[in-house]
């Protein structure tokens, strides 16, 4: 099988639980570290799927790798190669396919409940789950591109996930591990402090305490999504 290409845009925002899932299922993958200056591939044809992780930047920033990534996403979708996006990654998919990304009404940082949409596509992706505690760290939000089916919402962000066929875009983070939560809280301490008046921002202590009770369920949701996504991989 060809490798899955996983694009990392910040050193602490790697594939996390996704890497554990792929390794457990003996699915090969390759990390492309955009944050370390690695080049965006010219074509998606060498990969069975494309995954885009999060990052602190905006898809609307003038960064040299954004235009090639958007083209790569469009080429993959045209070739029916599955694409998966987490947070910034979901926003990249949206922008590539004609959607837009703008400031969310409030910043979401930490654990927060999301509701699964009541439609057949959402049930295919999320199984029997109706609500769950997701992990969030974003200040922007995406619109749904043409042909997308809405999958998830939260009290503070209407568009938390959508699917277009075998392609999945997430605003929330399902890929979290305990170590990632700790490192994000350390690196984002100033942002947490300056955003503390938002009703959707937790303290670092709250995030880590809640992880003890919520992380296992979140990884179960992630496994459900990843199983559905890898079923569409190219050989």
Alpha helices by DSSP H, listed for the chain, are 17-24, 66-78, 88-96, 120-126, 178-187, 189-194, 204-230
Instruction: Check residue 10 and give its pLDDT.
Output: 98
221 vs 133: CA distance, rounded Å:
10
Q: Is residue 50 part of a domain?
A: yes
pLDDT in tens, 35-82: 999 999 999 999 999 999 999 999 999 999 999 999 999 999 999 999
78 vs 106: CA distance, rounded Å:
34
Q: Is residue 8 part of a domain?
A: yes
Q: How many domains does the chain have?
A: 1
Domain that holds residue 198: 4-230
Q: Is residue 27 part of a domain?
A: yes
Asked if 56 and 10 touch (Cβ cutoff 8 Å), the reply is yes
Which 8-state DSSP code applies to residue 137? E
Q: Counting every residue, how long is the chain?
A: 235
Instruction: Check residue 234 and give its pLDDT.
Output: 79
76 vs 83: CA distance, rounded Å:
7
Are β-strands 4-8 and 29-33 bridged in parallel, bridged antiparallel, or unpaired?
parallel
Asked if 30 and 73 touch (Cβ cutoff 8 Å), the reply is no
User: The pTM is what?
Assistant: 0.98
Listed as ranges, residues in the chain with pLDDT below 70 are: 235
Whole-angstrom CA distances from 72 to 41, 56, 175 are 8, 21, 22
Q: Is residue 235 part of a domain?
A: no
CB atoms within 10 A of CB 234: 16
Residues with a catalytic annotation lie at: 87, 173, 175
Which 8-state DSSP code applies to residue 35? G
179 vs 44: CA distance, rounded Å:
31
Q: Counting beta carbons within 10 angstroms of the beta carbon of residue 115, is it exposed (0 to 12), middle (13 to 18) or buried (19 or more)?
A: middle
3-state SS, residue 111:
strand
Instruction: Check residue 220 and give its pLDDT.
Output: 98
Interaxial angle between packed helices 204-230 and 178-187, expressed in degrees from 0 to 180 and rounded to the nearest 10: 130
Kindly report the CATH number assigned to the domain that includes residue 90.
3.40.50.880
Q: Is residue 41 part of a domain?
A: yes
């Amino acid at each position: 099988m060809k490798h899955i290409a996983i694009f990392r845009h910040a050193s602490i925002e790697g594939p996390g639980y996704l890497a554990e899932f792929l390794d457990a299922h003996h699915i090969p993958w390759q990390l492309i570290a955009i944050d370390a200056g690695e080049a965006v591939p010219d074509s998606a044809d060498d990969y069975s799927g494309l995954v885009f992780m999060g990052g602190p930047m905006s898809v609307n920033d003038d960064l040299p790798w954004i235009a090639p990534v958007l083209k790569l996403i469009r080429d993959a979708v045209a070739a029916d190669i599955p694409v998966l996006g987490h947070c910034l990654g979901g926003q990249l998919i949206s922008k590539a396919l004609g959607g837009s990304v703008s400031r969310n009404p409030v910043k979401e940082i930490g654990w927060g409940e999301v509701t699964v949409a009541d439609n057949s596509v959402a049930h295919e992706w999320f199984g029997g789950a109706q609500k769950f505690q997701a992990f969030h760290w974003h200040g922007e939000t995406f619109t749904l591109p043409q042909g997308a089916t809405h999958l998830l919402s939260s009290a503070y962000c209407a568009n938390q996930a959508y699917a277009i066929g075998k392609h999945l875009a997430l605003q929330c983070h399902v890929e979290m591990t305990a170590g990632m939560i700790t490192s994000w809280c350390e690196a984002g301490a100033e942002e947490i402090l300056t955003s503390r008046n938002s009703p959707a921002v937790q303290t670092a202590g709250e995030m880590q305490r809640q992880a003890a009770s919520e992380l296992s369920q979140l990884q179960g949701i992630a496994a459900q999504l990843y199983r559905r996504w890898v079923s569409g991989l190219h050989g």
